């Protein structure tokens, strides 16, 4: 649950971006900063959480992150203007990022390399599917109350999870890794980036995430501007997307150990490219309807559901003694690439779906190329 909190907090506001744009009388690009800067905040925070959890333990770092999330949510609730709302979102995201990093490190503490990919598939399903459902929740809250209500919701959930962490979570780190400061952290990250296999898996994860975040960033505006539908309708169509991801995770959990990491990543990447290409084709022949966009993208996300957990497992198992740092660096790359894509897709929006879809297609191809060119031929590690 804590692994899902950061993405839930980030995406629950998605249906409200057009509402916030009107409420504060700002441009789409400015309103989009509530998403893209929160993603950048997650990226930077993940760099710190990995080494800190390797040094001080998983539990204290998780508890600290939850407290920061609550503080950021309160800042958003009382924000008098768009500037303070963006700052509050940055703080909220920095706290919520903790579960994304430390949960994967806990998996590596408890399970061996081959079991980890199956367990991470379950973890990733929760971490991705719950946030995918959150726009529908956010849309309903904003229709029935107002946009402030989503931050009350995140603050309450964070407080509940904080209590659960304090009273029920055991410490899983057996041997703390010495941490001598920022210089030592940067040296650890440099050593990881010098490993071809780590880079292959981490870049694969990063470009897969670009596919997803490009879509969630542009789809609400496309729903309003291109398809002429209300912003809240986005949340209901979006439910198709987690179904695709859940199906991909199901495939990984039940066939991943037999098929192996390499084969699963390869299959998932190909399916993702196929789904995006199909979406482009349907739009090109004139099927300008939300279903003609969301259904093929659900197929692409099905491929992502296969690729992502296997690539994440490959990345953290590339350096088992630095699992926290490997998870943190992978998370940083994942969210940094996605933050750039989220803002870029708003800037290149031209009133059609094509800029978004072409960006997604390019990211899918790059994910497959990074994996193919940098990782070793076998996946027994």
Q: Determine the pLDDT at residue 380.
A: 39
Write down how long the chain is.
Answer: 381
Distance CA 302, CA 237 (A): 16
3-state secondary structure 97-142: HHHHHHHHHHHHHHCCHHHHHHHHHHHHHHHHHHHHHHHHHHHHHH
Cβ atoms of 244 and 299 within 8 Å: the answer is yes
Number of domains present in the structure of the chain: 1
CA torsion sign, 177 to 178 to 184 to 185?
positive
Q: Which of the residue ranges 175-184, 324-333, 341-350 would you say has the lowest mean pLDDT? A: 175-184
Residue 321 lies in a domain: yes
Q: Determine the pLDDT at residue 339.
A: 78
Domain of residue 46: give its range. 2-170+180-374
Nearest CA among 105, 74, 71 for reference residue 2: 105
- pTM of the predicted structure, to 2 decimals: 0.72
Give me the residue label for tokens 């992150």. 65
Q: What is the mean pLDDT of residues 258-286?
A: 89
Residue 381 lies in a domain: no
Q: pLDDT tens digit string along 138-162?
A: 777 877 787 788 889 989 999 999 9
SS3 content of the chain, % helix, strand, coil (to 5): 85, 0, 15
Report the percentage of the chain scoring pLDDT > 70: 91
**Does residue 117 have a pLDDT over 70?**
no
Q: Determine the pLDDT at residue 181.
A: 66
Q: Determine the pLDDT at residue 101.
A: 81
Nearest CA among 119, 125, 130, 39 for reference residue 302: 125
Q: pLDDT tens digit string along 285-336?
A: 988 888 889 999 999 999 998 888 888 888 877 776 676 678 778 878 887 8
Q: pLDDT tens digit string along 205-217?
A: 999 989 988 887 7
Cβ atoms of 283 and 357 within 8 Å: the answer is yes
Q: How confident is the model at residue 276 (pLDDT cuts 50, 70, 90)?
A: very high
User: What is the average pLDDT score of the chain?
Assistant: 82
Residue 207 lies in a domain: yes
Can you list the alpha helix ranges (DSSP code H) found in the chain?
Answer: 2-11, 17-23, 28-56, 58-77, 82-110, 113-144, 149-168, 182-193, 196-225, 233-238, 240-259, 261-284, 290-317, 323-347, 354-374
Domain harbouring 104, CATH code: 1.20.1250.20
Distance CA 368, CA 267 (A): 10
Residue 70 lies in a domain: yes
Report the percentage of the chain scoring pLDDT > 90: 19
Q: Would residue 229 be called left, alpha or beta, if left means φ above 0 and alpha means ψ between -120 and 50 degrees?
A: beta
**Does residue 377 have a pLDDT over 70?**
no
Distance CA 203, CA 193 (A): 10
Residue 380 lies in a domain: no
Residue 175 lies in a domain: no
Distance CA 49, CA 122 (A): 22
Q: Which residues contact 54 (CB under 8 A, 6 or more apart)?
A: 105, 173, 176, 177, 179, 322, 323, 324, 325
Distance CA 62, CA 65 (A): 5
Residue 133 lies in a domain: yes
Residue 379 lies in a domain: no
């Amino acid at each position: 649950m804590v692994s899902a909190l950061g993405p839930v907090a980030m995406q629950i506001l998605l249906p409200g971006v057009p509402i916030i744009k009107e409420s504060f009388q700002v441009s789409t690009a400015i309103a989009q900063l509530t998403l893209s800067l929160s993603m950048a905040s997650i990226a930077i925070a993940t760099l710190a959480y990995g080494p800190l959890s390797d040094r001080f333990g998983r539990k204290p770092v998780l508890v600290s992150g939850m407290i920061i999330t609550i503080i950021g949510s309160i800042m958003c609730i009382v924000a008098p203007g768009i500037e303070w709302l963006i700052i509050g979102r940055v703080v909220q995201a920095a706290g919520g990022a903790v579960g994304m990093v430390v949960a994967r490190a806990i998996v590596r503490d408890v399970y061996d390399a081959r079991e980890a990919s199956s367990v991470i598939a379950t973890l990733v399903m929760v971490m991705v599917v719950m946030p995918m459902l959150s726009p529908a929740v956010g849309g309903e809250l904003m229709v029935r109350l107002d946009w402030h209500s989503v931050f009350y919701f995140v603050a309450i959930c964070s407080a509940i999870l904080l209590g659960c962490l304090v009273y029920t979570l055991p410490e899983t780190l057996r041997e703390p890794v010495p941490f001598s400061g920022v210089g030592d952290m940067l040296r650890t990250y440099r050593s990881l980036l010098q490993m071809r296999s780590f880079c292959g898996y981490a870049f694969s994860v990063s470009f897969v995430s670009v596919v997803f975040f490009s879509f969630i960033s542009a789809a609400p505006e496309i729903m309003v501007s291109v398809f002429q539908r209300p912003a809240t309708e986005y949340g209901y169509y979006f439910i198709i997307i987690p179904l695709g991801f859940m199906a991909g995770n199901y495939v990984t959990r039940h066939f991943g150990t037999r098929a192996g990491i390499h084969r699963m990543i390869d299959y998932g990447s190909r399916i993702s490219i196929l789904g995006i290409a199909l979406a482009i084709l349907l739009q090109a022949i004139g099927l300008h309807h939300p279903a003609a966009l969301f259904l093929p993208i659900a197929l692409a996300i099905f491929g992502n559901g296969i690729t992502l957990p296997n690539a994440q497992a490959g990345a953290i198992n590339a350096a088992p003694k630095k699992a926290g740092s490997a998870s943190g660096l992978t998370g940083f790359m994942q969210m940094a690439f996605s933050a750039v894509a989220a803002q870029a897709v708003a800037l290149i929006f031209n009133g059609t779906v094509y800029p978004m879809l072409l960006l997604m297609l390019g990211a899918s191809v790059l994910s497959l190329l990074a994996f193919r060119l940098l990782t070793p031929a076998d996946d027994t590690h």
